[in-house]
């Protein structure tokens, strides 16, 4: 176990980026649908199981209004009962997640926003040294890690 891994292991909370939170919600509706849905087809049922196992190691999940909005918009492309179940799962989960807010105007003024967009800039700001940042974005993981943010790239989960 590396020093970084031990430090990360002591975090009580994890901030999950948009794509992985979408995977979490789609998989919760039906893990078999993960590789079939356009927005999650790069993942497998095993990826969903690995994500769940990883998240179970934390006391709570942190999110932002920006991430939840992106997840909701992407999941809105689901059809039939999957769509209803997806939105229902978001509504129930939002009640137990810790939602953190950062001013969009301030984050948009950051030079980081030009390279990563608003949602990732807000996620970086919220994670800081308080929450582990879980992402599947290699550039964001490298950027955050170089600035002292505890970050785990999903390929390492």
What's the rounded Cα separation, in Å, for the pair 90 and 1?
34
Supply the pTM of this predicted model.
Answer: 0.90
What's the rounded Cα separation, in Å, for the pair 152 and 143?
12
- Kindly indicate the confidence band of residue 10, based on its pLDDT and cuts at 50, 70 and 90: low
What does the pLDDT read at residue 11? 79
What does the pLDDT read at residue 107? 87
Please choose, from the candidates 9, 11, 43, 12, the residue with its C-alpha nearest in 3D space to the C-alpha of residue 26: 43
pLDDT tens figures, 90-115: 999 988 999 999 989 898 999 999 99
What does the pLDDT read at residue 8? 46
CA neighbours closer than 13 Å in the CB half-sphere of residue 75: 32
Which residues have CB under 8 Å from 73's CB, separation 6+?
A: none
Q: Is the pLDDT of residue 3 over 50?
A: no
List Cβ<8 Å contacts ≥24 apart for 94-100.
94/63, 94/68, 96/60, 97/60, 97/61, 97/62, 97/63, 98/13, 98/60, 98/61, 98/62, 98/63, 99/62, 99/63, 99/64, 99/65, 99/68, 100/15, 100/62, 100/63, 100/64, 100/126
CB of 62 within 8 A of CB of 93? no
Tell me if residue 11 falls in helix, strand or coil.
coil
pLDDT tens figures, 34-67: 999 999 999 999 999 999 999 999 999 999 999 9
């Amino acid at each position: 176990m590396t020093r970084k891994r031990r430090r990360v292991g002591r975090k009580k909370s994890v901030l999950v980026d948009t794509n992985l939170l979408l995977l979490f919600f789609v998989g919760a509706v039906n893990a078999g649908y993960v590789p079939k849905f356009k927005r999650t087809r790069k993942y497998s049922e095993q990826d969903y199981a690995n994500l769940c196992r990883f998240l179970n190691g934390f006391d709570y999940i942190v999110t932002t209004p920006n991430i939840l909005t992106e997840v909701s918009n992407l999941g809105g492309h689901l059809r039939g009962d999957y769509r209803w179940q997806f939105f229902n799962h978001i509504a129930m989960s939002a009640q137990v997640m810790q939602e953190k807010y950062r001013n969009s105007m301030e984050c948009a003024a950051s030079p980081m926003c030009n390279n990563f967009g608003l949602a990732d800039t807000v996620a970086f700001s919220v994670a800081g040294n308080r929450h582990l940042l879980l992402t599947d974005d290699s550039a964001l993981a490298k950027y955050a890690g170089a600035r002292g943010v505890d970050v785990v790239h999903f390929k390492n989960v």
